[in-house]
Amino acid sequence: MQTSDQVDPHSHQHHHVGHADEHQQDYPMKPQRPTREQLAHIKGWGADLDRKNRPAVPMERTPPRFIHAHEEKLPQQEETVEILTSTERPGITPIFGTAQPPKGLSGVLRRIAYRWSENDMRHWLILLAADRVNVVEGIGEDLAKGKVPNLLAEMGIKSEWEYNKAGLAKKVAIGAAVVGTAVYLMRRRER
């Protein structure tokens, strides 16, 4: 005989605050893991069980190599060019890239973009525009140096022709439509 404090775990007549437990089924506490024999059909399974089956064993070291993290704060890299920083982070990171400092119209756009937070759409849209402007600036620099860029090769036309003819045809049609519309509007304005 049960007292009011005791509850039969198999009885559905015990009282609950909610009714979510009423439909629970009894599951084993630990999931049943497959045996080695049941997994042996999987190619490569158990390769870590025997060191002879591990291709990296000849290169492994005991104890394994470990690259120690810096114990102290990294020294700050010297600023030799303008570094644009996010409004979310005070200061700059100890190490940063200097290969592409902001310059020209694209640099102006980047400086404007960094006035806004990284969660502001304007930040990213202006940076995308700055990238496109930078491409045009690069072509202008090449022409100023007497180098005529091979735009078709740089745009991957050969690969497009070989692997994506339908996509290339679509791009050519859109480009022709844009150029044709621009020429039409310019001629119309002259009249």
- Would you kindly state where each structural domain of the chain is located, as residue ranges? 101-149, 152-191
Mean pLDDT by 10 residues, the chain (191 residues): 50 49 58 77 71 65 68 85 86 86 95 93 96 93 91 85 92 94 90 77
Classify the C-alpha dihedral 88-94-99-104 as positive or negative. positive
Tokens of 113: 């973009």
**Contact assessment for residue 84 and residue 114, using Cβ atoms and an 8 Å cutoff:** yes
Task: Please state whether 81 falls in left (phi above 0), alpha (psi between -120 and 50) or beta.
Answer: beta
pTM of this structure? 0.50
Does a cis peptide bond (omega within 30 degrees of 0) precede residue 63?
yes
Q: Cα 147 to the chain's mean position, in Å?
A: 34
